């Protein structure tokens, strides 16, 4: 293998897939959807649309199509490039990561493979290896304390089931009562108009006209009231700030202030204006109940779009990257189980 070859970096999310070479500044992005027609599965084109969510467990054929499509878009031969993949869930079931390795080495013939979690990569893309990552993407808002580049397992709880998909569905319900509206239209309107209010009790939203297929509708309080689900959801007993504090309080007391001072927001849903400032406000309000952090103020940063992919490219550009990979020779010698000792 030519060790100077750039790696192909994937961040496959439930909503979008980001792919590019480690030397690229921005990824190519496409929806994580496959279509099925005439018994064939492909990416794009007409047919029954399937979202490749929880993909590894549900259907490896589908995610293989997504990877294949990524290689095709970049016009690269997978046999000639190391590959960086994200692990889709935490903790990743070992059978799942083994299957990922098996497909990469046996079907695509990649020379070397590296796996890591998007939360760790988001922090890496942000330039640090210790912090609390709040990933509010498509299906869940998740909380990961990361120390020296590893997720601390014990404090990770089930995520908050409020994220981009849920907010879009709530808006879609509202809009469909007023006119014909598709999920995609509702998502576009949401991304343009939604924000997180600093004080929902006194908020005075400005009206906004949205164009539906057969009607014009005016959005007003929905613009900030639907995102309030992050704090007072019908699905959950507590809000996002309480999830942050619960996660912190499961961490070692000595580590809490460090994590509290590096809270990194990632995922498309966190791009809503006001997301970080409201979270800061709610955390400070809750602090008297959390005594050991009394004198600390949180420091919250909204990361750049696609930061997990950017983190992957940074890692894959290090001169030592190939030393951290599982190679085809390793795979031939030890088999797919090595992937779980190498990338834990
Ligand atoms: N400016 C924005 N305002 C509000 N929501 C946004 C904005 N930009 C993106 N989103 C929402 O973020 C969600 C997608 O987030 P993201 O791309 O992080 O998900 P993903 O990585 O594909 O999925 P996963 O949840 O598996 O990580 C979508 O619901 C999208 O509508
Ligand atoms: Mg994601």
In the prediction, which pLDDT does 5 show? 80
Residue 2 scores a pLDDT above 60? no
CATH code, 8-117+307-342: 3.30.420.40
Q: Tell me the C-alpha distance between 172 and 20, whole Å.
A: 33
Percent of the chain predicted with pLDDT > 90: 77
**Ligand 1 within 6 A of CB of 159:** no
21 C-alpha to ligand 2 centroid (Å): 18
Residues with CB under 5 A from ligand 2 (ion): 13, 137
Say whether 122-161+238-302 and 8-117+307-342 share the same fold. yes
Q: Tell me the C-alpha distance between 55 and 45, whole Å.
A: 20
In the prediction, which pLDDT does 215 show? 85
pLDDT-derived band at 144, boundaries 50, 70, 90: very high
- For residue 211, the 8-state DSSP code is E
Percent of the chain predicted with pLDDT > 70: 95
In the prediction, which pLDDT does 326 show? 98
120 C-alpha to ligand 1 centroid (Å): 18
pLDDT digits (tens, 9 = 90+) for 22-76: 999 999 999 999 998 877 888 877 777 888 766 556 689 899 999 999 999 999 9
**Ligand 1 within 6 A of CB of 88:** no
- Reduced to 3 states, what is the DSSP secondary structure of residue 94? helix
**Residues near 335 by beta carbon (within 8 Å), at least 6 away in sequence:** none
Mean pLDDT for the chain overall = 92
Minimal CA–CA distance to 191: which of 146, 159, 223, 232?
A: 223
The pLDDT of 80-91, averaged and rounded, is 92
> What number of other Cβ atoms are within 10 A of residue 58's Cβ?
13
CATH code, 122-161+238-302: 3.30.420.40
Q: Tell me the C-alpha distance between 130 and 263, whole Å.
A: 9
Tracing tokens 């692990």 back to the chain, one arrives at: 87
Q: Tell me the C-alpha distance between 171 and 229, whole Å.
A: 12
pLDDT digits (tens, 9 = 90+) for 202-241: 999 999 999 888 889 999 999 999 999 999 988 888 999 9
pLDDT digits (tens, 9 = 90+) for 289-303: 655 566 678 999 999
Q: Tell me the C-alpha distance between 164 and 271, whole Å.
A: 10
Domain ranges of the chain: 8-117+307-342, 122-161+238-302, 164-229
Beta strands of the chain (E only): which ranges?
Answer: 8-12, 16-21, 28-31, 33-37, 40-42, 48-51, 83-86, 112-116, 131-136, 141-147, 150-151, 208-211, 216-219, 263-266, 300-302, 326-327
In the prediction, which pLDDT does 329 show? 98
pLDDT-derived band at 149, boundaries 50, 70, 90: very high
Q: Tell me the C-alpha distance between 76 and 62, whole Å.
A: 20
In the prediction, which pLDDT does 44 show? 78
86 C-alpha to ligand 2 centroid (Å): 9
pLDDT digits (tens, 9 = 90+) for 253-291: 899 989 999 999 999 999 999 999 999 999 988 876 655
Minimal CA–CA distance to 157: which of 173, 145, 139?
A: 145
CATH code, 164-229: 3.90.640.10
Give the mutation target among 55, 92, 137 for probing the ligand 1 site: most ligand atoms within 8 A of CB.
137
């Amino acid at each position: 293998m030519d060790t100077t070859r750039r790696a192909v970096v994937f961040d496959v999310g439930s909503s979008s897939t980001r792919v590019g070479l480690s030397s690229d500044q921005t990824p190519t992005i496409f929806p994580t959807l496959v279509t099925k027609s005439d018994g064939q599965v492909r990416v794009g084109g007409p047919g029954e649309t399937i979202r490749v969510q929880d993909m590894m467990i549900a259907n490896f054929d589908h995610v293989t199509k997504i990877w294949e499509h990524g290689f095709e878009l970049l016009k690269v031969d997978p046999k000639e490039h190391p590959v960086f993949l994200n692990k889709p869930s935490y903790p990743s079931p070992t059978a799942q990561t083994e299957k990922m390795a098996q497909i990469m080495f046996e079907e695509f013939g990649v020379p070397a493979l590296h796996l890591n979690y998007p939360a760790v990569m988001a922090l890496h893309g942000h330039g640090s290896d210790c912090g609390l990552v709040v990933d509010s993407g498509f299906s869940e808002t998740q909380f990961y304390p990361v120390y020296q580049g590893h997720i601390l397992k014990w404090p990770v709880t089930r995520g908050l089931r409020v994220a981009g998909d849920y907010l879009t569905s709530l808006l879609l319900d509202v809009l469909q009562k007023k006119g014909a509206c598709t999920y995609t239209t509702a998502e576009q309107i949401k991304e343009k108009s939604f924000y997180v209010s600093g004080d929902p009790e006194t908020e005075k939203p400005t009206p906004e006209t949205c164009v539906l297929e057969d009607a014009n509708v005016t959005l007003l309080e929905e613009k900030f009231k639907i995102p309030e689900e992050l704090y007072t959801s019908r699905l959950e007993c507590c809000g996002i700030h309480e999830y942050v504090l619960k996660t912190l309080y499961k961490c070692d007391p000595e580590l809490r202030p460090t994590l509290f001072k590096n809270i990194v927001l990632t995922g498309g849903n966190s791009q809503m204006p006001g997301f970080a400032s409201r979270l800061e406000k709610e955390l400070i309000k809750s602090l008297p109940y959390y005594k050991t952090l009394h004198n600390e103020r949180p420091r919250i940063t909204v990361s750049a779009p696609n930061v997990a992919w950017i983190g992957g490219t940074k890692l894959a550009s290090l001169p030592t990257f190939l030393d951290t990979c599982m190679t085809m020779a390793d795979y031939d010698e030890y088999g797919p189980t090595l992937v779980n000792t190498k990338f834990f």
